[in-house]
Chains A and B, each alone.
Chain A
């Protein structure tokens, strides 16, 4: 089971769209996951394996471990999300 946060400034619009699509991607990869959408402040002090967010959040997430963050530009392109998330999971050795 991996813990994933999708993050946007308010934690209820774009991060929720991201959650829906990241869930589909992880399901299709056969990865058991717990995905939560959230604003930046709510993830401070939390444990997670991966963060999926948007380019605009780069500055707000400077303090977080950049190795665990995937930045996406188009929330609706499941192939972009799939490609970037899969590459990151391989990099983190969560999948082979």
Chain B
């Protein structure tokens, strides 16, 4: 599945106000729950993993990618994105504060590879986090995220 199939428009929300990093994970996870992509327990699993292993989910400056295992209640492979109203620290000195959060849910360890590869391409662009953070509409975010799409399978 490519990024367009994984990151459906209803899984994107901008300028979300959150009070801490757990809240940010809950906010992005809620989009997936509403979409029917994951069970509510998937959100707890994403928070638990980040607690257990530290803020390794902050993969790049300003960008966090919480995720959990397929068996943690994933129903459909998907990616959800929120931009934060105010940047939040996740406890990763190198890459804090976080402005963009993309949650990842996968039903197995293969279906999302194309989508992740698309994401990797988009996120390697200079200034991408600010560009997403400054986007004023969901469509603007989607235009950026859909720039590159692997072939649909």
**CA separation between A73 and B55, bound complex, in Å?**
12
Of the stretches A15-23, A43-51, A61-69, A83-91, the one at the interface is A15-23
A interface footprint on B52-65 (CB within 8 Å = 1, 0 otherwise): 11111101110101
Is the pair A9, B49 in contact by a Cβ cutoff of 8 Å?
A: yes
> How many of B's residues come within 8 Å of A, CB to CB?
28
User: Which residues of chain A (4-43) have a CB below 8 Å from chain B?
Assistant: 8-14, 16-17, 20-21, 37
User: What are the residues of chain A within 8 A of B124 when measuring CB–CB?
Assistant: 21, 76-78
What is the interface residue range for chain A against chain B? 20 to 34
User: What are the residues of chain A within 8 A of B117 when measuring CB–CB?
Assistant: 20
Is the pair B65, A9 in contact by a Cβ cutoff of 8 Å?
A: no
Is the pair A11, B109 in contact by a Cβ cutoff of 8 Å?
A: yes
Selected contact of B106 from candidates A12, A55, A56, A74, CB within 8 Å: A12
Binding site for A on B (CB under 8 A): 49, 52-57, 59-61, 63, 65, 67-69, 94-95, 104, 106, 109, 112-113, 116-117, 119-120, 123-124
Binding site for B on A (CB under 8 A): 8-14, 16-17, 20-21, 37, 54-57, 73-78
Apart from A13-B65, A17-B120, A76-B120, what 7 extra A-B contacts exist at CB < 8 Å?
A12-B109, A14-B59, A16-B113, A17-B59, A20-B117, A54-B56, A73-B94
The 4 A-B pairs at the shortest CB distance, nearest first, are namely A56-B56, A13-B67, A9-B53, A76-B124
